[in-house]
Structure 1
Amino acid sequence: MTLESFSLARYRIPLDSALPVGKQRIELRQGLILQARANEQDYYVEIAPLSGLDRDGSEINGFSLESLDDAITELQSLLQAIVEGSMTLDSAAEFTQLASVAWGLSLLSAKINQQLPVHHTPFEPVPLIVPREGEPEVMLRQRLMAMPNNIHRVKIKVAQTTMAEELQLIHLVQEIRPNVKLRLDANQGFEFDEAEAFCACLPKQAIEYIEEPCRQWQKNRALFASTGVPYALDETLGRHPDFVPADDAYDSGLRALVIKPMLCGSLPKLQQLIDHAHGLGLRCVLSSSIESSLGIADILHVAAALTPDDTPGVDTLTPFTKALIEPFGDKTCLAFDSLTPVFSIRK
């Protein structure tokens, strides 16, 4: 592999409707696109920490530990070392402490070395349903009845509006689509007693798991012991980069790890976590950090390689007003008009 140059560009894509990030909402997504020229071909990856400001101007809490500016500074140093020959893409990915940079560099290496599937069998869709406060029941029914017939699972955000409205939504899904299984996502939005009251009202036979039900993740085990509703971990993985599930995790109610690669780190680290979790009988669901279409496409390819039996959670593209990758004949190309150059490094 002969690396000839790197170029880094920044994107800013407005969203036509706000997307939830935990309890917060964002109306703009920003990130970086790293281009590498190797073996006379161009390769692209997205590096987009889930940080910055929400629509109210407050810092996004509980997701990426680094900022976009942190990533730019780190990349400038690491890419210079790679071009000079003192580092490889893989060694730089293992060296950096920034998860988004580690993910991007290791993914770039995998692309250049053709280690990911070019084509894969389409995953079964898992639509994301976000409750709308005060939505009339007739409109809610129309939304649910519009779901395609091939849907067997849906993901529903909870701890967003009122408990009564969210339970109504869940039971309506069961009424209209009784064979659909539910994955709930609370984003650590409940205190323990609230989570206990909420879970007591759920149609338990339909629930695959509830992601991060308790504000303090250590209380999820007690919630399972009290209610019998299994849970999954998501934010906990991003906030604790070295997290490893305990050997008794399954017996204590843990059923899945919802892994955001942009918050996890390098591909080898991701593979190690998945292998360990699978050994304990846990499912692993790769999940979007609200990346652009380029990042979403890459998650799908990585999921096909590492978690082919579990549909990744990538149903977050609809509000994006611009796609960063677009069809071009038999291939796809970048929408360069959405990018602002940051720097270039050449041999």
Structure 2
Amino acid sequence: MTLESFSLARYRIPLDSALPVGKQRIELRQGLILQARANEQDYYVEIAPLSGLDRDGSDINGFSLETLDQAAAELQNLLQAIIEGTLDLDSAAELTKLASVAWGLSLLSAKINNQLPVHHTPFEPVPLIVPREGEPEVMLRQRLSTIPTNIHRVKIKVAQTNMAEELKLIHLVQELRPEVKLRLDANQGFEFEEAEAFCACLPKNAIEYIEEPCRQWQKNRALFASTGVPFALDETLGRHPDFEPAEDAYDSGLRALVIKPMLCGSLPKLQKLIDQAHNLGLRCVLSSSIESTLGIADILRIAAALTPDDTPGVDTVNPFTKALIEPYGDKTCLAFDSLTPVFSVRK
């Protein structure tokens, strides 16, 4: 592999509808696109920490531990060292403490070395349903009626509005589509007593799991013991970089790890966590950190290779007002008009 140059650019893409990040909402997504020239070809990866400001100007809490500016500064130092020959992509990915940078550099290495599947069998979509406070039932029924008949599971955000409305939404989905399985996502939005009351009212046979039900993730086991509703972990993985599932995880109610690669780190670290989980009978669902079309395409490729039996959670790209990658014959091209250059380094 002969690396000739790197270029880093920044994107800002407005969303045509607000997307939930926990209980917060964002209407703008920003990130970095890293371009590498190697073997006389161009390769691209997205590096986009899930941090910054929400639509109200408050800091996004509970997801990436690094900012976009920190990622750009780290990349400038590491890429200069790679061009000078004192580091390679894989060692730089293991050296950095920033998860988004580790993910991007290791992914770039995998692309350059042809270690990813080029094509994959399409996954069955898992539509994301977000409750709308005060939505009339007639409008809710109309919205739910648009779920395609070939869909076998949906994901519903909860702990967003009020418990009664969210339970009504869940039971209405069951009434209209009794064959559909439900994945619920609370984003650590419930106190234990609230989670216990909420889970007691759920149609348990329809629930695959509820993601991060309790504000304190250590209480999820007690919730399962009390209600029998299994849970999944998501934010916990990003906040605890060295997380490993316990040997008794399955018996204690854990059913799945919802893994955001942008928050996890390098590909080898991702592979290790998936292997540990699978050995304990846990499912692994790769999930978007609200990346652009470029990042989503890469999550789909990684999921095809590492978690082919579990549909990744990538139903967050629809509100993007612009695609960063667009079809071009048998290839894809980058929408350069959406990018602002940050820096370049070359031999």
Q: TM-score range by the shorter chain?
A: over 0.9
Equivalent residue, structure 2, for 1:10: 10
Residue 144 of structure 1: how far off its partner (Å):
1.0
Unaligned runs of 5+ in 1: none
Give the aligned partner of residue 143 of structure 2: 143
Per-residue deviation, 1:43: 0.1
Residue 195 of structure 1 is matched in structure 2 by 195
How far apart are the structure 2 equivalents of 1:281 and 1:124?
Answer: 22
Shift of 1:315: 0.1
Q: Residue in 2 aligned with 1:70?
A: 70
Counterpart secondary structure, 1:134:
coil
Q: Distance in 2 between matches of 1:138 and 1:330?
A: 44
Report how far residue 246 of structure 1 moved: 0.3
In the TM superposition, residue 225 of structure 1 has moved relative to its aligned partner by 0.2
1:24 alignment counterpart:
24
Gaps of 5+ in 2: none
Which residue of structure 2 lines up, in the alignment, with residue 49 of structure 1? Answer: 49
AA aligned opposite 1:3? L
Return structure 1 stretches of 4+ with deviation > 4 angstroms.
Answer: none
Letter in 2 for 1:9: A
Moved more, 219-228 or 323-332: 323-332
Q: 1:323 maps to what in 2?
A: 323
Q: Normalization by structure 1: what TM-score?
A: 1.00
Q: Which amino acid aligns with 1:225?
A: A
- 2:257 is aligned with 1:245: no
State the Cα distance separating 1:143 from its structure 2 match: 1.1
**Structure 1 partner of 2:184:** 184
Deviations 1:13-51 (A, max 9, x none): 001111000010001000000000000000000000000
Cα deviation 1:277-305 (Å, max 9, x = unaligned):
00000000000000000000000000000
Shift of 1:329: 1.4
1:308 maps to which residue? Answer: 308
Q: CA deviation at 1:240?
A: 0.3
RMSD: 0.4
Displacement of 1:167: 0.3
Aligned residues between the structures: 347
CA distance in structure 2 between the partners assigned to 1:233 and 1:146 by the alignment:
29
State how far apart, in whole Å, the 2-side matches of 1:80 and 1:173 are: 53
**Separation (CA, whole Å) in 2 of partners of 1:331 and 1:173:** 39
Pairing 1:171–2:209 present: no
Matched residue SS, 1:120: coil
Counterpart of 2:259? 259
Partner of 2:228: 228
Output the CA distance in 2 between the equivalents of 1:40 and 1:149: 46
Cα deviation, 1:208-244, whole Å, max 9, x if unaligned, reads 0000000000000000000000000000000000000
Matched residue SS, 1:4: strand
SS in 2 for 1:294: helix
Give the AA of the match of 1:253: G
Whichever residue aligns with residue 333 of structure 2, its letter is: C
Aligned-partner SS, 1:171: helix
The amino acid of 1:70's aligned partner reads Q
Between the aligned partners of 2:330 and 2:149, the Cα distance in structure 1 is 30
Give the corresponding residue for 2:275. Answer: 275
CA distance in 2, matches of 1:155, 1:43: 33
Distance 2:202 2:250 in 1: 21
What is the distance in 2 between the residues matched to 1:159 and 1:211?
A: 11
